[in-house]
Amino acid sequence: MADHHGGYPHFPSIARKPGPLTLWLLALIAACATSTLPKDSAPATPAPAQAVVAAPAPQPPPPPPTPVPFEQAIEKAATALFGSVAPDAAGAKRLVVIDPLIDGMTGEQTQATRLMQTRLSRIAKERYPQFDVQPFSVENLRRKPLVLIGTFTGIDGQGRTQGTREAYRICLALADLDSRTLVGKGVARAKMEGIDVTPLAYFRDSPAWALDSVTEGYIKTCQGSRVGDPMDGFYVARIVSAASVQRAIEAYDAGRYLESLEHYSVAMQAAAGDELRILNGVYLANMKLGRKDAAKVVFQRIVDFGLERKRMAVRFLFKPGSTSFVTDPQVSNAYPVWLAELAKRSAQRSACLEIVGHTSRSGPEALNERISVLRAETIKQRLEAQAPELRTRTIANGVGSRENLVGNGRDDATDALDRRVVFKVVDCAAPTA
């Protein structure tokens, strides 16, 4: 049927006007097509995929050295030490002196450290002809030698100097006194069985203890250092007086007390001031020579030394598990004089003190805590009996075995410092009741 215009019949158009959604899709497609290509340019060739390189995983620290028997540990550390030093360019022997090895916590020389020194000297002479080992003396120090130092320290399984000791750490170092740098290093760990760590006589008898700056510098130079690191400056500055101190210690240990006193006098002049290890030595030599009045004057200086530095330990030895002093008169006969001078000098300075008791590791820790407080209370009461004005200026405290220096729990001469009494100068504004 024709329409009234005479053409094909009229039907509604199939291609209707685009709706809003269709227009939005068309616009989106156009935008994507034009936004990824630069104007008037052909499509770029896709870049090849880049390989992803993973960051290297952090490497775990090397395992600690395995403890070996004592003699074997000395050999191991010595081989590493002497083998790490380059020979002299002209082929000449290098002069070596040994500043006696010490305990890395107490700074004391022991039977073990003395044995180590003997072994090291023999190893150097027998196996390393490039070294000429000579005595540690003022004369040899003037020749700017290599100085061998070393520490011997009780550690736990993680290498820490606390808790139950499970091994000994040996640290050896060679330092060039001319360049004042470390030129060799050797370390090892020794099993604890069969090792005598009894302090030598001078250290065992000394009334007071503190790590003086010279000893701290010695330990710092050896421990935590690497080849090429500088020596501690204070240790270098006092090394000449250290040689005189060592001669005095050797004379005292041999019973030559007048000779010891003479060497201490030389050392005091070389040190240009008080050092606790020198004051201890002068006190001990005078006591052995029967010069009690002179020894008393020196002990006054020892007390002043501690008060000026605000901390010092005194070696009051108690019976195990007790607040009573040991009954050996060779040990405890001097205690009344020590207590009287501690009270007198503290009162004269109007010092306020915290008195801290310590115990060894033997026994339950709860009991150790209690005993350490009672020991501090005992000392506090004895000081107040001498100087009543200290009653309002002293406080007693105890730390049990938490701050052990030796930590072997033997309750004998080897761990006497673990049973020390420490005097700390505190702020008088703080409560001291």
- Average pLDDT of adjacent 10-residue blocks, the chain of 433 residues: 40 44 45 44 52 65 83 97 84 93 97 97 95 96 97 92 91 96 96 95 96 92 92 93 94 97 89 82 97 96 95 91 89 94 96 96 92 97 96 96 92 92 89 48
How many CB atoms sit inside 10 A of residue 305's CB? Answer: 18
C-alpha span between 195 and 170 (Å, rounded): 13
pLDDT at 41: 42
Hey, where are the domains in the chain? 63-291, 310-432
Fold entry, domain 310-432: 60s Ribosomal Protein L30; Chain: A; (3.30.1330)
Alpha carbons 163 and 389: distance in angstroms, whole number: 39
pTM of the entire predicted model: 0.82
Would you state the pLDDT for residue 19?
52
What is the bridge-based pairing of β-strands 167-176 and 181-190? antiparallel
Q: How confident is the model over 104-158, as pLDDT tens digits? A: 999 999 999 999 999 999 999 999 999 999 999 999 999 999 999 999 999 998 8
Q: In 10 A of CB 73, how many CB atoms?
A: 25
Q: What is the pLDDT of residue 13?
A: 39
Express each pLDDT in 235-254 by its tens digit.
999 999 999 999 999 999 99
CA distance 296 to 151: 33
Q: What pLDDT, on the 0 to 100 scale, is given for residue 33? A: 46
Looking at residue 344, its pLDDT comes to: 97
Q: Quick one: pLDDT at residue 378? A: 97
If DSSP codes are grouped into helix, strand and coil, which group holds residue 94? strand
Residue 114 has phi, psi (to 5 degrees) of -65, -40
For residue range 261-292, list pLDDT tens digits in order: 999 988 888 776 668 999 999 999 999 999 99
Write down the pLDDT at residue 86: 80
pLDDT of residue 39: 42
The pLDDT of residue 230 is 96
| Residue 226 one-letter amino acid | R
Q: How far apart, in whole angstroms, are the C-alpha atoms of residue 376 and residue 396?
A: 5
The C-alpha atoms of residue 220 and residue 107 are separated, in whole angstroms, by 11
Identify the bridge partners of residue 290 per DSSP, sorted by sequence position. none
Q: Using the 8-state DSSP alphabet, how is residue 41 labeled?
A: -
